[in-house]
Amino acid sequence: MSKRRVVITGLGLLSPVGNNVQETWQALLAGKNGVAPITLFDTAGYDTKIAAEVKNYDPLDHFDRKELRRLDRFSQFAILAADEAIEDSGLDLEKEDRDQIGVIVGSGIGGMLSFEHEHTKLITRGPTRMSPFFIPQMIIDIAAGHISMKHNLKGPNFATVSACATAAHSIGTGFRTIQYGDADVVVCGGAEAAICPMGIAGFNSMKAISTRNDEPEKASRPFDAKRDGFVMGEGSGMLILEELEHAKARGAKIYGEIVGIGFTADAHHITQPAPGGEGAVRAMKRAINDAGLKPEDIQYINAHGTSTYFNDKNETEAIKTVFGDYAYKLKISSTKSMTGHLLGASGALELIATVLAVKENKIHPTINYEFPDPACDLDYVPNKSIEKEVNAALSSSFGFGGHNVTLCVKKYVE
């Protein structure tokens, strides 16, 4: 059976640097920093007092109080990003076969805020005061459920969970779902809202997140020699994937074409990447091979680029292994330098940045690149965006537990 072609026809975002796609994209091109002191809770006593929060967000602008009793913050973000993506796609759902429209949306952590809030009630006020909505607020699959229920979408509906690779797994699975005919359209991506006492304290105890509290705007610095950990971010990214002939039949605008995926495991360590980025090497090679391309056909990589010592070093090594001398001709950038790390939503935000780079031939920078690291010696598009023809690009996501995903996007050609 020949695999069907899959294109991207809609985008939706809620991020630390913008509350929609265009606002976020313009901020990324401008090198805008989204990291600031935490406002969502009192950080007294915490080693880390900074994060990349979604700004100017009031849930009551989007949901009524009754709805909010049922919606964790991560689900709110997911619904709003999905709404934007569906609207952007131009899909007239009244004319579509909703049995053929799926929703595959994940989260790395899910409703941690709800868990924390209800656990406090349990301890201080007793078990009878727990909310009846607690479990369906918290569970990771509920974001996909809410999106499908709101829009009456009855195709494949589930969540993926693979830490920081979650959204990329969702998108790659959506791609395969359409390729093999199980849906014509899939809403896919990820959402995360874990900037809370438990989230920050947990990552602090691992020594994983930056403590550069005096300079929050410089805390996220992927590939820089003075990086000291990632910065927690929050938000949601959603894409509408669509079978090509279905998109053409309705005259849809097409951002680009997904042409390859690579899913691998490190099978190495609970948090650290495999030496030399071995798992990442196989993920990138699989994505390029799945796309029917050669390494030199790629012009740009949106890197996982977390601003942690091991990730940035190993990811650089992996790129060199896959691309050889050509690695030095590639343009590479880290969205996380501006947005922080959206955990389970990061792969969707970063794929959207990759898709727009392919569509507009513009590459956003890696900001805060000030002190070169000899172990990270590639072209990370330091500090200023550039214009460059991008015909094919990769976006990579790597999660705790050794989960690796690389997605390959090309310009759409008839």
Residue range 270-311, pLDDT digits in tens: 988 898 999 999 999 999 999 999 999 999 999 999 999 999
Active-site residue flag, 403: no
Active-site residue flag, 164: yes
Give the CA distances from residue 400 to residues 163, 166, 247, in Å, rounded to whole numbers and listed in that order.
6, 10, 36
* DSSP-derived pairing of the beta strands 300-302 and 392-399: parallel
pLDDT digits (tens, 9 = 90+) for 176-216: 999 999 999 999 999 999 999 999 999 999 999 999 999 99
Model confidence at 322, pLDDT cuts 50, 70, 90, reads very high
Active-site residue flag, 304: yes
Domain match, 82 and 106 both: yes
**What count of Cα atoms within 13 Å lies in the side-chain half-sphere of residue 123?**
6
> Which of 236, 213, 320 is closest to 277 using CA atoms?
320
Quote the CA–CA distance of 223 and 369 in Å, as a whole number.
7
Of the residues 146, 151, 164, 408, only one is catalytic, namely: 164
Of the residues 151, 246, 304, 364, only one is catalytic, namely: 304
Q: Which residues of 41-68 are buried (b: 16+ CB within 10 A; e: fewer)?
A: eebeebebbbbbbbeebeeeeebeeeee
Total domain count, the chain: 2
Question: Quick check: is 1 in a domain?
Answer: no
pTM: 0.97
Domain match, 57 and 105 both: yes
Of the residues 246, 341, 364, 403, only one is catalytic, namely: 341
Domain match, 245 and 264 both: no
Domain match, 245 and 262 both: no
Domain match, 51 and 122 both: yes
Domain match, 292 and 229 both: no
Q: Which of 249, 280, 298 is the last residue of a domain?
A: 249
Q: Which of 249, 267, 288 is the last residue of a domain?
A: 249
Domain match, 122 and 177 both: yes
Residues in the chain, total: 414
Question: Quick check: is 80 in a domain?
Answer: yes
Which residues constitute the domain of residue 298? 257-410
Quote the CA–CA distance of 15 and 32 in Å, as a whole number.
12
Domain match, 286 and 360 both: yes
Domain match, 239 and 283 both: no
pLDDT digits (tens, 9 = 90+) for 54-74: 999 999 999 999 999 999 999
Mean local confidence (pLDDT), 256-276:
94
CATH number of the domain residue 295 falls in? 3.40.47.10
